[in-house]
Amino acid sequence: MNALLAKSDDVSRREFVSRMAKTCLGVTAAPLLMGRANAAFEGASKAKQVATAKNVIYLYMSGGMSHLDTFNAQPGTDEAGPVNHIKTSADGVLLSEYLPLTAKHMHHVAIINSLASTQGAHAQGNYFMHTSYTLRSTIKHPSMGAWMTKFQGRNNPSLPSSVVITNDSKHPGAGFFEAAVSPLSISNPASGLQNSKRLGHLTEADLDYRVSLSQKLDAEFRSQYDYADLRAFGDIYKDAVKIMKSEDLKAFDLNQEPAEMHELYGKDAFNQGCLLARRLVEHGVRFVEVTLGGWDTHNDNFVRVPENCAKLDQGLSALLGDLDKRGMLEDTLVVVTTEFGRTPKINQNEGRDHYPKVFSSILAGGGIRGGQIYGKTDKGGHEAVENKVMVPDFNATIAYALGLPLDQVIFSPSKRPFTVADKGQPLTSLFG
């Protein structure tokens, strides 16, 4: 830790980090449940376990990832189109030829081929997958990272507990929860935490001078008015200056990674996001989402899916291998999911349209038994014929891995009751 923090004693450091985390980075020192939680909720799963996952890296394929051309291998069917299939490191598990690198890690991965959503439009499907609730204009529901922070607080006191690396400004974030549990949003993984570096032409002494001058010039005003908002405004400056000097800022800095890591993960924004996700988790961030867009392949599916898969394949395989090598895969759950699949029937534009009826996602690490396929579709991937999984069940499985109480009710400010994963039933058989 830097000199400033090293000098201060333990208590004031704790105070600082907790306040900073609260006002800055969307974290709180303690779970934020005081007086809010309630008795068990009818219909919600009572399943509880000791968490098998400490962290989640959630890779979101925005636009609707074709299940047939990725994880639901249907060799020898018309629906598969021109795609060939390849063997993987897991016995009996086939993958699309578009994912050759990922194939080497399938012994860590559970594929779910029987996932189903009720939402067939992008905004609605995306929202449903992120919150387990349908999109409404009267309320905004929290995303999984926000639920986790709400229930469990954070890991590293000076970093946010959840980060979303995306350009999508519609992410539900904290939903109706207080802003303090909101995931920190980063649009460009390469640029780190926004505004955390000094203006180029200022020395540290210059900035310190200006901050202290500002306080001198503001002293009279602040002493005249006793307003909570104004006091909070004063506090954020102390914390801002400290965070600029904090070691933990390095968690956001991809320049600290060696060239071979950049090489391994790839240069695309998504791939850099995967690398940043690993780095953040290493530093104590617990829930990181990375988005890869471009999956809405109504036209020329077999031109565009392989392009997207190349990014996914490199980023995902690098992440799984890297986490494994560092011994982090055991307690880090890696998720790949999307809002819906694509029609098995190839349309006349060589494309596939929206298909919420059945699609695929994967889970790896974090207590998941690798090398398995859960659920089954008919030949051609039209519908689930075995172990159908609804979106809330899928999300309940993530929450279960994190050890979140699935039946604990939290009330919105409008006094409506909600649970994490909206009464979904976790797929407990995937673990162990």
Partner 1 sequence: MKLTCAFIILTAISAFGAALPESARIDEIIAKEWQKNNLQPNAPASDEVFLRRIYVDVVGRIPTIEEAKAFLISTDKDKRTKLIDQLLASDGYAANYFNYFADILRLQTDTKGQLTGYAYADWLKSALKKNQPWDSMVRELLTTDGASWDSGAIGFYMRDQGMQLDHLAATVQVFLGTQIVCAQCHNHPFDKWSQMDYYHMAAFTYGMDSKKGYGLNLESKMAPDKKARKSPEAQALRRDLKSVQESIKEVSKVLRYTSVAETDRLPKLPHDYKYTDAKPNEEVQPKTMFGHDASQLPGETRIDSFARWMTSPENPRFTLVIANRLWKRAMGMGLIEPVDEMTDSTTPSNTELMNYLEKLMAEKKYDMKAYLRVIYNSDLYQRMPSTKDVALGETYHFTGPLMRRMSAEQIWDSVATLIKGNIDQQAVEPNLAAERKLDALGKLYDTLNSKDPKQLIADIKASGGAESPEKLAKIKELTEQAAKLRRDGKKDEAAALQKQVLALRGGTKRDAFSAVLGAEGAREFQREYREGGVKAKGGKGKQEATKVSLTREEMAKIKAQAGGDKKKAKELINTAQNNLRKGSGAVIAGATRAADLPSPSPRGHMLRIFGQSDRETIENASREAAVPQALALLNGPVADALLNDVSDFSQHVNAATTNDAKMETIFLGLLSRYPTANESKILSSVMRDRAETAKADVVHALLNTGEFLFVK
Q: Please identify, using beta-carbon distances, which residue of 239 and 422 lies nearer to partner 1.
A: 239
Tokens of 202: 């200022």
165: which strand partners? 186, 290
Pairs from 36-39 (Cβ < 8 Å, separation ≥ 24): 36/410, 36/411, 37/408, 37/409, 37/410, 38/408, 38/409, 38/410, 38/411, 38/417, 39/409
Q: For residue 271, what are the contacts with CB-CB under 8 A and spacing of at least 6?
A: 265, 311, 314, 315, 318
411 binds partner 1 (CB under 8 A): no
Q: Contact between 385 and partner 1 (CB under 8 A)?
A: no
Q: Measured between alpha carbons, how far is 16 from 95 in angstroms, rounded to an integer?
A: 49
Q: Nearest distance from residue 240's CB to partner 1, in Å?
A: 4
Residue 42 found at the interface with partner 1 (CB under 8 A): no
Give the residue with the Cβ less far from partner 1, 46 or 415.
415
Question: Is the four-CA dihedral 319, 151, 113, 337 of positive or negative sign?
Answer: negative
Torsion of CA 401, 406, 409, 410, to 10 degrees: 20
* Minimum distance from residue 220 beta carbon to partner 1 (Å): 7
We find the least distance from the C-beta atom of residue 180 to partner 1, in angstroms, to be 9
- From 194, 256, 428, 429, residue interacting with partner 1 (rule: CB under 8 A): 194
Q: What count of Cα atoms within 13 Å lies in the side-chain half-sphere of residue 134?
A: 6
Question: Which token pair is 404?
Answer: 């979140």
Span near partner 1 by CB under 8 A; candidates 3-11, 150-158, 256-264, 347-355: 347-355
The smaller minimum CB distance to partner 1, of residues 91 and 229, is found at 229
From 43, 234, 379, 411, residue interacting with partner 1 (rule: CB under 8 A): 234
416 counts as binding partner 1 under rule CB under 8 A: yes
Rounded to the nearest angstrom, the gap between the alpha carbon of residue 229 and the centroid of all alpha carbons in its chain is: 31
Residue 203 contacts partner 1 per CB under 8 A: no
Interacting residues with partner 1 between 237 and 266 (CB under 8 A): 237, 239-241, 243-244
> Would you say 95 and 106 are in contact if contact means Cβ atoms under 8 Å apart?
yes
User: Is 81 or 371 the residue whose CB approaches partner 1 more closely?
Assistant: 81
Instruction: Identify each DSSP E strand in 77-213 by its residue range.
Output: 85-87, 94-96, 109-116, 162-165, 184-186
- From the list 39, 138, 259, 327, which residue makes contact with partner 1 (rule: CB under 8 A)? 138
Q: State the nearest-atom distance from the C-beta of 157 to partner 1, in Å.
A: 14
Does residue number 94 form part of the binding site for partner 1 (CB under 8 A)? no
Minimum CB distance to partner 1 smaller for 142 or for 426: 142
The token pair that represents 162 in the structure block: 């959840």
Residue among 29, 47, 190, 207 that touches partner 1 (CB under 8 A): 207
Q: Are 403 and 50 in contact (CB under 8 A)?
A: yes
CB of 328 to partner 1, least distance (A): 28
Candidates 4-12, 23-31, 270-278, 325-333; binding stretch for partner 1 (CB under 8 A): 23-31
Residues lying near partner 1 in the complex (CB under 8 A) are found at 20, 23-25, 82, 84, 97, 123, 135-140, 169, 179, 185, 187, 194-201, 206-207, 209-211, 213-214, 216-218, 220-222, 224-230, 232-237, 239-241, 243-244, 299-300, 302-304, 306-307, 348-350, 414-416
